[in-house]
Amino acid sequence: MVVDDSVVIRGMISRWIGAEPDMEVSASLRTGLDAVNQIERIKPDVAVLDIEMPELDGISALPQLLAKKRDLVIIMASTLTRRNAEISFKALSLGASDYIPKPESTREATAAETFHHDLIQKIRHLGARARRRASPAASPSMAPAPERARGVSAQPAAAPVAQLQLARQPFSMLAPRVLLIGSSTGGPQALMTLVADIGPVIDRFPVLITQHMPPTFTTILAEHLGRASRRPAHEAIDGEIVKPGRIYLAPGGRHMRVVRHGAETAIALDDGPPVNFCKPAVDPLFNSAIDVWQGGIMSVILTGMGSDGMRGGKEIVAAGGSVIAQDEATSVVWGMPGAATNAGICAAVLPLNQIAPKLVRLFSGDRS
């Protein structure tokens, strides 16, 4: 269900969805009020919901839609303004599954292409996961076969996974000196849960985070992380020295790396091409950290689409460091952590609420 007061945007998104073999548009509506009034008749799997609309805006329509269809996947769509970014974060706390920034103008070919790619991927992965959860016959590690339906068809999982039987790496015997975290879809909520409970780690060690997110959104995410952790958190600045007691977040639209700066470590931002279709990407951070901290790296891969972080995580393990992945049951999308798990590079695959206690123990000297 596409809900947007712009006939141009509605038509564009509807054409994109209609071109996909595993999706179809169940409704194209102008206002949030239309969506609320028709949701029980339409019964879509996914709603792409604009924020600014007449009669009933997206943030007001959101709880009403979820009240009428609890399993509805809602993707908030908005232009990149601070106000809309703040509203998108509020929407996540109210039950939205994800957000996506709309290009300022559909004439911007690159921006429109990115929007197209990201939107289709979000609809496909979030919709398929919701349908697997709704199916009592579906196993937690394997999706049902595709089926034609109103909205999104579930896609087969990349590979059947028996998580408990996958190979595990031992935790590094080297004391960790830094915590690196990578995340994407579902990441903001997971990050705020995690940083709230790792205060003892942050106080003694630097924490560097790459979250797939556009500019403006990362500014606000850093503010939220600071409030959740009660520690200093900010978007990383090119050339600044990395210090314990602080959280550094890769700014939207730029890759964050670390480099040696005499006896210290400095942030290095760059405007290079996307890596793994992402900018910022997790792999550049993970790979660069090896030159600085060698085997003293503890890395965490949280919920997200794709496989970003897996290759960098493999290099971290080869250098003597460790990788922890979020488990499938607590991930919004088990793409990134699933790729790391399937690659056999993880020392642990844990539910979100167990990751922080484990990190506190590991950074306090536990090596198991």
Backbone dihedral angles phi then psi of residue 85, each to the nearest 5 degrees: -65, -45
- Contact by Cβ (8 Å): 343, 310: yes
Shared domain check, 231 and 101: no
- Specify if 350 maps to a domain: yes
If asked whether residues 212 and 351 sit together in one domain, one would say: yes
Q: Is the pLDDT of residue 245 over 80?
A: yes
Domain range for residue 206? 163-363
Do 221 and 349 reside in the same domain of the chain? yes
What does pTM read for this prediction? 0.88
In terms of domains, do 198 and 122 share one?
no
Domains in the chain: how many in total? 2
Q: Average pLDDT, whole number, for the chain?
A: 90
Residue positions annotated with a catalytic role: 184, 212, 308
The two tokens of residue 5 are 């007061």
Burial class, 170, CB count within 10 angstroms (exposed 0-12 / middle 13-18 / buried 19+) = exposed
173 and 43, same structural domain?
A: no
Q: Report whether 181 contacts 343 (CB < 8 A).
A: no
293 and 230 housed in the same domain: yes
CATH code for the domain of 87: 3.40.50.2300
Cα separation, 298 vs 132, whole angstroms:
32
40 within some domain = yes
Residue 186 lies in a domain: yes
Do 110 and 182 reside in the same domain of the chain?
A: no
Provide the b/e sequence for 40-51 (b: ≥16 CB within 10 Å): eebbbbbbbbbb
pLDDT at 131: 74
Mean pLDDT along residues 308-315 = 98
Say yes or no: 251 and 332 in one domain: yes
Other CB atoms closer than 10 Å to residue 244's CB: what's the count? 13
CATH code of residue 293: 3.40.50.180
CB atoms within 10 A of CB 138: 15
Same domain, 172 and 251: yes
Instruction: Answer yes or no: is 147 within a domain.
Output: no
pLDDT in tens, 333-346: 999 999 999 999 99
Asked if residue 98 is part of any domain, the answer here is yes
Domain termination residue (choose one: 117, 134, 151): 134
CB atoms under 10 Å from CB of 165, counted, come to 7
Does residue 330 share a domain with residue 194? Answer: yes
- One domain, residues 199 and 269: yes
Judgement on whether residues 217 and 102 belong to the same structural domain of the protein:
no
Please write the tens of the pLDDT for every residue from 77-126.
Answer: 988 889 989 999 999 999 999 999 988 765 665 678 889 999 999 999 99
Give 39-59 pLDDT, tens digit per residue.
Answer: 999 999 999 999 999 999 999
